[in-house]
Structure 1
Amino acid sequence: MEIILKEDIIGLGYKNDIVDVKRGYGRNYLIPKGKAVIASESAKKVLAEDMKQQAHKLAAKKAEAEKKAAALENVALEISVKVSATGVTYGSVTAATVAEELEKKGFDVDRKIITMRDIKKVGEYEATIHFHKEVEVKVPVTVVAENAPKAEVKSDNVDTEKETGKTVDTVETAELEQKESVEEADDTKTAE
């Protein structure tokens, strides 16, 4: 079924696009909600006339979208989240989280125009922000651990002990003995 969209619908198309959808989706959801009309020949002619009249408005919207995208070109986000001992985040980092972080940096971006998969592990990811059907920008998102898990810290100490054969206490004792011998050597030099 061919329809003409009356508004931007993420994942489907933008306002005034002619798209194919399943009949049930078009008739039971999009058309009754006022988000689309059936793409008949007369509706297509009306759309063509409207597009000619609104060409300058569309150019202005695109220019504004390009300006916003240029402002976000060099922005990188670092999001701190709580992490379990296995490295998995409590909850997930979503488009709403990215929108909040951008707002903290002074950018007003609606979460609905941000596309990304939900992030559940620490690492580097990318969020795509769609300002216009022809203008989008990719923002790098780095997810870091807010808290250092205690289980990982213990395992790191055990690995160090196995590799060197020394415990942390013996290393500290050796360092103290070395400092004392250096101090004694300094005392003997000053006495001479």
Structure 2
Amino acid sequence: MKLILTQQVAGLGAPGEVVEVKDGYGRNYLIPRGFAIQWTRGAEKQIDSIRKARAAREIASVEQAEAISKDLQKLKVRLRTRAGDSGRLFGAVTPADIAGAVKASGGPELDKRRIEVKNPIKTVGSHEVAVRLHPEVSAKISLEVLAG
């Protein structure tokens, strides 16, 4: 099955790429979740608009990504969220919450899809979060989760 990716899919490709996948993977996972659209000659024209939008959002060079990485590593990010008496959160901290906290702390606006949370953050305290700024550059953010 030929598909056009609309979002970054780990191990498969970037938005705007035409990929060949097994029918079940495309039909049951990629298309329903909005990660891809069916390939047609008409949809081929949409690839250009996807690529232009991606280029506008994306960090252009490795040097720019490294500069942003240095700024992020210096930043102290604090996030207040609801928690119980034992320090457990009601729910978990999401990448969208982290992106908002970085912006509120004076950092750059980050795309929530670039924030990688390895294990769900469900407790108050210090946590490390990775941000993929460029295929070659990633940054670590020190996140302080506070009860509030």
TM-score tier (shorter):
0.5 to 0.7
Structure 1 or 2: more strand by fraction: 2
The 8 Å contact of residues 96 and 111 in structure 1, kept in 2 or not, is answered as yes
**Bigger relative contact order, structure 1 or 2, given CA contacts below 8 A and separation 6+?**
2
Q: Which residue of 1 aligns with 2:82?
A: 82
Q: Given residue 115 of structure 2, which amino acid in structure 1 is its aligned partner?
A: I
Secondary structure at the counterpart of residue 73 of structure 1: helix
- Correspondences of 1:139-158 after superposition (within 5 Å): 139-146=141-148
Deviation at 1:93, TM superposition (A): 1.3
Q: Which residue of 1 aligns with 2:127?
A: 125
Structure 1 or 2: more helix by fraction: 1
Distance, in Å, in 2 between the alignment partners of 1:133 and 1:120 is: 28
CA shift digits 1:134-169 (9 cap, x unpaired): 1110111121222xxxxxxxxxxxxxxxxxxxxxxx
With 133-142 and 7-16 compared, the bigger mean Cα shift is at 7-16
Distance, in Å, in 1 between the alignment partners of 2:93 and 2:26 is: 32
Change (3 A) 1:17 1:133: farther
The 8 Å contact of residues 5 and 13 in structure 1, kept in 2 or not, is answered as no
After TM superposition, the score normalised by the length of structure 1 is: 0.50
Change (3 A) 1:86 1:22: farther
Distance, in Å, in 2 between the alignment partners of 1:34 and 1:82 is: 32
Distance, in Å, in 2 between the alignment partners of 1:6 and 1:119 is: 29
Identity of aligned residues (%): 29
Which 4+ stretches in 1 moved above 6 angstroms? 16-20, 31-34
Q: Which runs of 5+ in 2 are unaligned?
A: 40-57
Q: Which residue of 2 aligns with 1:69?
A: 69
Distance, in Å, in 2 between the alignment partners of 1:109 and 1:121 is: 23
The 8 Å contact of residues 7 and 14 in structure 1, kept in 2 or not, is answered as no
After TM superposition, the score normalised by the length of structure 2 is: 0.63
CA shift digits 1:165-189 (9 cap, x unpaired): xxxxxxxxxxxxxxxxxxxxxxxxx
Is 1:12 the counterpart of 2:11? The answer is: yes
Q: Which runs of 5+ in 1 are unaligned?
A: 39-57, 147-192
Of structures 1 and 2, the larger Rg is shown by 1
RMSD: 3.5
Q: Given residue 133 of structure 1, which amino acid in structure 2 is its aligned partner?
A: P
Change (3 A) 1:87 1:79: same
The 8 Å contact of residues 130 and 138 in structure 2, kept in 1 or not, is answered as yes
